């Protein structure tokens, strides 16, 4: 036995050839790197990246515009139009408390814009699409401002464009769903100067109160970037919303509907929890997890705890409602918090590789939307074109 152990420890295995797969993967990675560097070269690289990413995103997951013809969809637009006609309407009294329409009472930013600009259904869909494009631009610019790497920023932008937060502006075709505007304003609160950040978060909360869940993530972002003015602005924006909502509710005797939210929903849809969480950020969770790891490894426990609690607040709130993925979209600021944490210790090449890995995962894994215990695959443009062509004949 002793002789066998000595032989095992001292015997050298014969060298094996490199194989066929490793050189091929190395060549593919090098070619991808050169392509990325050509795309981000030049003075107008941000516009080029946003347009290319947008085109690829829509090719990969194209909206189902047939849905606009269905009676259920048209009914949601008629119901949402009530707030356009009368921004002070109490929707909780007009609709069942558990319905989406009952929760539109305090979501008045888009109705006010539609009323002022005389926007109909097409106009509001165009507004959402514009906010979607701007969301991708803000993602790119924020990432570049943190990493100072064009390649890493482009990779993060591509990753976000292939998950729900990056495509919701083009896929939310129901009336009364304003996440495209709200999420864009949340990123604007991270991007703009401090006074404008307060305004952005204030308006975002009046667009959809779920943005307040993202507020703590923005606070952690400002703290890690050592921007006390932005931190104060975010807190002021949230406090301003709370005060004006209290006044608005009392002045017009408005009610808040909380039905359809709670532990019962969580238990009912418990089988969808892992997929629901995944659909929020997809491969971008890799950046978030790596950022958290760096904070813990560097013994920045207070920052790690704040980041973890802020993230858990959004995830927890998303899991007690039926439209899990829709609420999970507000975890998007966590990607930028993760990038800031990584920049404190990791070399640029490591961050670029991590961003590229996240983008590759987002590109390869299909984009899903979870709601009411079901998962919907966002179809690529080829399949969606077939559906658009055949549905009127077969439906």
Residue 34 falls inside a structural domain: no
Q: Measured between alpha carbons, how far is 154 from 53 in angstroms, rounded to an integer?
A: 8
Token couple for 302: 């207070």
By CB atoms closer than 10 A (0-12, 13-18, 19+), residue 297 is: exposed
Indicate the number of domains in the chain: 1
Across the range 272-290, mean pLDDT stands at 95
The overall average pLDDT reported for the chain is 90
pLDDT in tens, 132-191: 999 999 999 999 999 999 999 999 999 999 999 999 999 999 999 999 999 999 999 999
Share of residues in the chain with pLDDT > 90 (%): 71
Q: What value does the mean pLDDT take over residues 18-22?
A: 69
For residue range 193-252, what is the model confidence (pLDDT) as tens digits? 999 999 999 999 999 999 999 999 999 999 999 999 999 999 999 999 999 999 999 998
pLDDT value, residue 150: 94
Which pLDDT score is estimated for 42? 83
User: For 44-57, what is the mean pLDDT?
Assistant: 95
pLDDT in tens, 327-349: 999 999 999 999 999 998 899 99
Q: Does residue 185 form part of some domain?
A: yes
Calculate the alpha carbon distances from 291 to 187, 284, 285, 286, 312 in Å: 19, 11, 10, 9, 15
Q: Is residue 312 part of a domain?
A: yes
Q: How many other CB atoms are found less than 10 A from the CB of residue 43?
A: 6
Does residue 6 form part of some domain?
no
Does any domain span residue 229?
yes
DSSP string across 291-360: HHHHHHHTT-HHHHHHHHHHHHHHHHHHHTSS-HHHHHGGGTHHHHHHHHHHHTTS-HHHHHHHHHHHHH
Strands 368-371 and 374-377: antiparallel
Tokens 């009046």 -> residue: 206
Picking from 207, 167, 164, the residue whose alpha carbon sits closest to that of residue 371 is 164
Calculate mean pLDDT across residues 23-39.
78
What's the pLDDT score for residue 9? 45
Radius of gyration of the chain (CA): 23
SS3 assignment, position 363: helix
Residue 91 near residue 61, CB atoms below 8 Å: no
Per-residue model confidence (pLDDT) at position 8: 46
State the pLDDT at residue 395: 47
Domain extent at residue 55: 44-394
Instruction: Say if residue 97 is exposed, middle or buried (CB neighbours under 10 Å; 0-12, 13-18, 19+).
Output: middle
Average pLDDT over residues 322-327: 91
Q: Note whether 121 and 73 are within 8 A (CB).
A: no
Work out the pLDDT band at 273, boundaries 50, 70, 90: very high
Instruction: Please indicate whether residue 13 or residue 100 has the higher confidence score (pLDDT).
Output: 100
Angstrom distances, CA of residue 75 to CA of 64, 80, 169, 176: 17, 9, 20, 11
**Is the pTM value of this prediction over 0.85?**
yes
pLDDT tens digits, 285-299: 999 999 999 999 999
The structure tokens listed for 390 are 């055949």
pLDDT at 80 over 60: yes
Domain assignment present for residue 94? The answer is: yes
pLDDT tens-digit profile of 102-132?
Answer: 899 999 999 999 999 999 999 999 999 999 9
Q: d(Cα 148, Cα 158) in Å, to the nearest integer?
A: 17
pLDDT of residue 268: 86
H-state helical runs in 96-120:
109-117
Cβ neighbors of 75 (< 8 A, separation 6 or more) are none
Specify the pLDDT at position 238. Answer: 95
Per-residue pLDDT at 29: 77
């Amino acid at each position: 036995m002793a002789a066998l152990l000595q032989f095992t420890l001292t015997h050298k295995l014969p060298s094996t050839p490199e194989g066929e797969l490793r050189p091929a993967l190395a060549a593919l990675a090098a070619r991808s790197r050169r392509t990325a560097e050509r795309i981000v070269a030049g003075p107008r690289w941000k516009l080029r990246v946003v347009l290319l990413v947008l085109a690829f995103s829509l090719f990969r997951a194209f909206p189902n515009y047939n849905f606009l013809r269905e009676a259920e969809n048209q009914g949601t637009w008629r119901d949402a139009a009530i707030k356009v006609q009368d921004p002070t309407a109490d929707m909780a009294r007009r609709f069942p408390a558990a319905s989406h329409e009952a929760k539109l009472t305090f979501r008045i930013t888009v109705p006010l814009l539609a009323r002022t600009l005389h926007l109909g259904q097409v106009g509001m869909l165009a507004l959402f699409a514009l906010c979607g494009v701007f969301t991708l631009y803000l993602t790119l610019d924020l990432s570049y401002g943190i990493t100072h790497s064009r390649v890493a920023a482009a990779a993060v932008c591509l990753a976000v464009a292939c998950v729900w937060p990056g495509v919701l502006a083009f896929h939310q075709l129901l009336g009364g769903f304003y996440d495209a505007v709200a999420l864009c304003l949340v990123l604007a609160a991270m991007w703009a100067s401090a006074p404008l950040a307060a305004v952005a978060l204030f308006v975002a909360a009046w667009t959809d109160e779920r943005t307040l869940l993202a507020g703590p993530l923005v606070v952690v972002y400002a703290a890690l970037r050592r921007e006390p003015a932005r931190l104060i602005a975010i807190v002021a924006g949230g406090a301003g919303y709370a005060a004006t909502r209290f006044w608005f509710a009392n002045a017009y005797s408005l009610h808040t509907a909380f039905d359809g939210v709670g532990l019962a929903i969580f238990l009912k849809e418990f089988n969808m929890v892992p997929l629901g969480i995944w659909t929020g950020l997809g491969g971008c969770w890799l950046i978030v997890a790596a950022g958290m790891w760096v904070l813990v490894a560097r013994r920045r426990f207070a920052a790690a705890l704040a980041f973890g609690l802020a993230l858990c607040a959004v995830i927890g709130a998303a899991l007690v409602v039926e439209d899990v993925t829709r609420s999970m979209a507000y975890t998007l600021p966590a990607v930028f918090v993760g990038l800031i944490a990584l920049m404190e210790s990791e070399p640029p090449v490591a961050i670029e590789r991590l961003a590229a890995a996240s983008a590759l995962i987002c590109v390869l894994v299909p984009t899903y939307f979870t709601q009411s215990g079901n998962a919907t695959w966002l179809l690529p443009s080829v399949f969606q074109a077939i559906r658009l062509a055949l549905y009127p004949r077969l439906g």
